[in-house]
Amino acid sequence: MATNLAAKSVEEVPGSGGTLIKSVTRALDILEALSAAPGNLPLSKLSASTGLNTSTCHHLISTLAARGYVTQNSETRAYALGNKVFDLSEARARQFDLLDIAMPAVRDLNLRTGEAVHLAVIQARELVTVAKLDSRHAVKVDSGFAGKSNATHATASGKAILAWLPEAEQKAILDTKGMTAFTEHTITDAEKLKEELALVRRHGFAKDVEEFQPGVICVGAAIRNHTGGVIASISASMPAMRASEEAREVMIEDVKMTAATLSEELGSRSTV
């Protein structure tokens, strides 16, 4: 009898690599249905969307509610995700290592473009390059260094992050680090930078055309996490002599695609 009960609790799923526990699968179906719903779901709709009979659905959702993963509206009796789900999400965010997750994509971008690639974050109001790979071309630019800089306003990697920060945080960074003129092309006027950041948000990428280093063109895009917040940027740089309009367009698409892929891996559902 025990053997029969155990057999009924598992199921073979093609491509799963083994057996899955039915009750766990069904509970996850419920959570996914709730996460996809525009609002609270009554038991009848939840049962229909998951393909579970009402009794089974009620038993499973009662267990999830007891553990805090589901909550029930006291008036409508409909269900929604509980706060415990947010605890899991925050725990996942604490556990991930940006470099471990991002480096395969950084290497892939370096291979596809052949250009210098940087992964950057803003820490304590400073732009920090946490990883860099040099150009694979014989003629290459000085790709800078991994470490801190006060060039958030003058680099594609910095502007790609700065554009999505609250205005107060943008101002705090610029007030703290200043707007150093690295080249004659560096934007040092706050209003002009504000216009530039609006273009970043509109087009989904940032650029610097010899703003940080003479003879260097750079394109960057923001990387988002599961909350939709921007946590880093990825950028690629090439010599101005190689930066034809066609080459720039290809690099822009490559950088944007890489940023979108990384954002998706980090749980972002943003389409920007």
| CATH code (residue 65) | 1.10.10.10
User: Among candidates 72, 70, 95, which has minimal Cα distance to 83?
Assistant: 70
- The per-residue pLDDT for 3 is 46
Which of 41, 63, 91 is at the close of a domain?
91
Do 61 and 117 lie in one domain? The reply is no
Is 175 in the same domain as 194? yes
Query: Is 270 within a domain?
Result: no
- pLDDT below 70 — which residues of the chain? 1-18, 89-96, 139-148, 271-272
Same domain, 66 and 196: no
- Whether 127 and 196 map to the same domain: the answer is yes
Other CB atoms within 10 A of residue 87 CB: 12
34 assigned to some structural domain: yes
Assess contact for 236 and 144: CB atoms under 8 A: no
79 falls within a domain = yes
If asked whether residues 104 and 48 sit together in one domain, one would say no
The DSSP 8-state label assigned to residue 211 in this structure reads S
Q: Which domain holds residue 53?
A: 2-91
Q: How confident is the model at residue 5, as a pLDDT? A: 44
- CATH number of residue 177's parent domain: 3.30.450.40
